Amino acid sequence: MTTETTPGVAGAEPAVRELADREAIRDCIYRYCRGVDRFDRQLMLECYHPGAIDDHGQGELSVEQFIEYAMSRDPSRSRVHHVGNILIELHGDTALVETYWMAYQAWMEGERQFVRSRCGRYADNFERRGGRWAIMHRRVIDDWSAVQQADRIEAGLSVHRGGVYPCDPIYRWAGPP
C-alpha cells in the first residue's frame, strides 16, 4: 500500500509546532495577568523559569523578589490587566515577545475613589525548557499613566465581585451554571 500526501499538508508539522509555541507563550502571558490581578503567588511563579529576572521599574529583581514585591501591594486595590498586541519572534527555544498592556487600579482614600490607568509594554525574553515556555527576563515599558478621582463610588452590578486568591469567583467556578 502506498501513502499519498494530501496537497497543502506536506511540511505542516513545523507550522503546527510554531502555532503551538506561540499559543503556549500567549497562554503564559494571560496566566501572568490573572496571577498578578488575583494575588495568586503560585500562578505568577509558574509564568517564570527559575533564575528569571523582572524589571518593573524598580531595577532588576529575581522573580522571587518581584513576586514578594507584587504580593506586598495593597490587595484592597482592585486590579485588572488587559493585553492586546502580542508580537512573538521565535528563535528555536527562545523568543523575544512584545506585549501591549493596559492596567487599571481602583482604591479608596476616605470617601473618595481613585482610578489609575496605565498603558505600556512587556518586553520579554521567553525560553522553552523541558517543553515549557516561560519568562526568563521581563522589562516593563511604561508608555503613559493617569490617576483620576471617580465621580461616585460604584458598588458593582454583579453578585460575583472580584477578589484575590483564593476568594475570587474564578477559583470557585466549577463549570457552567
Q: How confident is the model at residue 164 (pLDDT cuts 50, 70, 90)?
A: confident
pLDDT, residue 114, reads 85
> In the predicted model, is pLDDT for residue 24 greater than 70?
yes
Hey, what's the cell of 59? 531595577
> In the predicted model, is pLDDT for residue 95 greater than 70?
yes
Residue 127's DSSP bridge partners are 94, 134
**Gap between the Cα atoms of 43 and 23, Å rounded:** 18
Hey, what's the cell of 36? 498578578
Domains of the chain, by residue range, sit at 12-172
> In the predicted model, is pLDDT for residue 162 greater than 80?
no
Q: Which CATH number fits domain 12-172: 1.10.10.60, 3.10.450.50, 3.40.50.1100, 2.40.30.170?
A: 3.10.450.50
Q: How confident is the model at residue 23 (pLDDT cuts 50, 70, 90)?
A: very high
pLDDT tens profile 60-87: 999 999 999 988 887 777 889 999 999 9
> In the predicted model, is pLDDT for residue 3 greater than 60?
no
> In the predicted model, is pLDDT for residue 1 greater than 60?
no
CB atoms near residue 97 (< 10 Å): 23
pLDDT tens profile 117-135: 999 999 999 999 999 999 9
- Among the listed residues 142, 164, 134, the one whose alpha carbon sits nearest the alpha carbon of residue 71: 164
CB atoms near residue 25 (< 10 Å): 22
* Mean pLDDT, rounded, of the chain: 86
114-149 b/e with 16+ CB inside 10 Å = b? eeeebbbbbebebbbeeeebbbbbbebeeeeeeeee
> In the predicted model, is pLDDT for residue 177 greater than 50?
no
pLDDT tens profile 42-53: 999 999 999 999
pLDDT tens profile 4-16: 444 455 556 999 9
Model pTM score: 0.83
Hey, what's the cell of 153? 463610588
DSSP string, 108-145: EETTEEEEEEEEEEEEEEEEEETTEEEEEEEEEEEEEE
pLDDT, residue 31, reads 97
